Amino acid sequence: MTVHKLGLLVLSLLMLDCSNPPSSTKTILRIKGSDTMLPLTKLWAEEFMRQHPGVSVYTEGGGTENGFRALIQGKIDISTASRPMRPEEARGLAERQSSLGYSFLVAKDALSIFVHPENPIRELSLAQLRDIFAGRIVNWKEVRGRDQPIMVFIRPPNSGTYLYFQEHVLEGQAYTSSAQTLPTNQAVVNAIAVHSNAIGYGGFAFEQSVVHCQVEGVRPSEENVRRDVYPITRYLHLYTRDTPRGYSKQFIDWVLSPAGQQVVRKAGYFPIFP
């Protein structure tokens, strides 16, 4: 090809590119945090995007701690959390973003105790749970079960569920060194479904193939959670760096609306409002 023809080809391509400018990009809303809340967050995102075609909502898990870290670093718009922000996290947000952040209660959850369907145990006290997860009770026969060693599954330290359980059930004590750490609620459920002597914990919505134990004789039902009768009831949160604006505000307002709360129920959690 001659230099003259090559120049004409390049000029034609440039003119073609100029005559077809790229389409405008969508507004992006980034949400990250609690693995417990991830199935719910995905459902919220799907419905919100359906109603707002000009918005792309990216959702990611990774744990409550990682969500707060991303919020502090300014990498996301909204953080999802299965526990309140800790003082050191609030301090980091104030130092990096000159704000103490805003918290929104968006759902309630029963922190469920999972056992295998073949395990005859259907009820445990808080004291028994404390001793099992701290390693002082190591055989099911010690709680009137079968003569089998107890296999304990827990979440990683960056999980809000891990910290909530440690604070509210273990009363700050360390987990047993024999506990096996799994990355997500679903991974805990999957492991317990194949190990008949296992026990673990997680969000109420993760109920496939496992049994939810009563705690202190109370079932993790909607009525008991709503009335705070179930002993391990908790709120689920959304956090923003500052006063929500634009699509962040629209998203949170919609989440708290009857339509958004209906999605909470659909996901297997409990709405804030009756």
Per-residue pLDDT for 207 more than 70? no
Bridge partners of 55, per DSSP, are 27
Q: For the segment 166-204, what is each residue's pLDDT rounded down to a tens digit?
A: 999 999 999 999 999 999 989 999 999 999 999 999 988
Q: For the segment 121-132, what is each residue's pLDDT rounded down to a tens digit?
A: 999 999 999 999
Amino acid present at 227: R
Q: For position 8, what pLDDT does the model report? A: 34
Q: Cβ contacts of residue 75 below 8 Å, gap of 6+? A: 30, 32
When comparing pLDDT for 32 and 2, which is higher?
A: 32
Q: For position 273, what pLDDT does the model report? A: 83
Per-residue pLDDT for 4 more than 50? no
Q: For the segment 225-259, what is each residue's pLDDT rounded down to a tens digit?
A: 999 999 999 999 999 999 999 999 999 999 999 99
Distance in angstroms (rounded) separating the CA atoms of residues 52 and 55: 6
Per-residue pLDDT for 5 more than 80? no
Indicate the average pLDDT of the chain. Answer: 90
In the chain, what percentage of residues exceed pLDDT 70?
A: 90
Q: How confident is the model at residue 26 (pLDDT cuts 50, 70, 90)?
A: confident
Q: Are 201 and 114 in contact (CB under 8 A)?
A: yes
Distance in angstroms (rounded) separating the CA atoms of residues 189 and 115: 9
Domains of the chain: 27-108+235-266 (3.40.190.10), 117-226 (3.40.190.10)
For the beta carbon of residue 232, count every other beta carbon within 10 angstroms.
22
Q: For position 7, what pLDDT does the model report? A: 36
Mean pLDDT to the nearest integer, 43-58: 96
